[in-house]
A and B are shown apart, each in its own frame.
Chain A
Amino acid sequence: DAGVIQSPRHEVTEMGQEVTLRCKPISGHDYLFWYRQTMMRGLELLIYFNNNVPIDDSGMPEDRFSAKMPNASFSTLKIQPSEPRDSAVYFCASSRLAGVLEQFFGPGTRLTVL
């Protein structure tokens, strides 16, 4: 398996623009997570899905952020409009329902909002 795939790996945009981050989880995994990492706040959970259904979005900072999971193999995290304070590395992770429950993380998307 190729692991969790994220795209793009780097994104530079201007304030006010819409940004869409993409994630393909590991096949067969039931959970998908979106995290954000900054120097100031560390690694924060934004939202997670179970079987494509959002379970907990309490970490989503505000209405400018939205996440979808239209099927088991794809998820998006959208920021509209983007702001400079959204600059961070965004990680997607997936895990199975049972067993160890370890989360497998993708390589991340480094977002810079100018």
Chain B
Amino acid sequence: DAKTTQPPSMDCAEGRAANLPCNHSTISGNEYVYWYRQIHSQGPQYIIHGLKNNETNEMASLIITEDRKSSTLILPHATLRDTAVYYCIVRVKGAAGNKLTFGGGTRVLVKP
């Protein structure tokens, strides 16, 4: 699986959009970008994933650059409950590549 690089931490104001970057310059054509988050003392939680098109769901939006070497997770209106560690993971989608390799993630602190 391609390695990802994320900033170790960032702060965000409550009610504002949080933009979380992720670099994955060695991503392969069949690798997807997945985002998970881990709220303190809980298990990780799936947020969103994508291949090359931008994706949106009820939790967040995922913007993938045209060359697919980087992506941004957007939390449109951050709340205090969004304080968590956010993990960007790149992996092949399918039975043979069902493993998740977690890096250090970005520790996001949403401030009132």
Contacts and interface: CB of A to CB of B under 8 A. Distances in A.
Interface string B48-71: 010000000000000000000000
Interface residues of B, number: 20
- Do most interface residues of chain A lie in helix, strand or loop, or is the interface mixed? strand
A102 B99 contact: no
Contacts of A50: 95, 98
Interface residues of A, number: 23
Contacts, number: 48
A44 B41 CA distance: 16
B100 A103 contact: yes
Q: Chain B contact residues: over half helix, strand or loop, or mixed?
A: loop
Contacts of B15: none
Contacts of A33: 99-100
A47 B99 CA distance: 9
Given A42-B104, A43-B44, A108-B43, A100 B98 contact: no
10 contacts: A31-B98, A42-B104, A45-B99, A100-B46, A100-B49, A101-B94, A105-B42, A105-B44, A108-B42, A108-B43
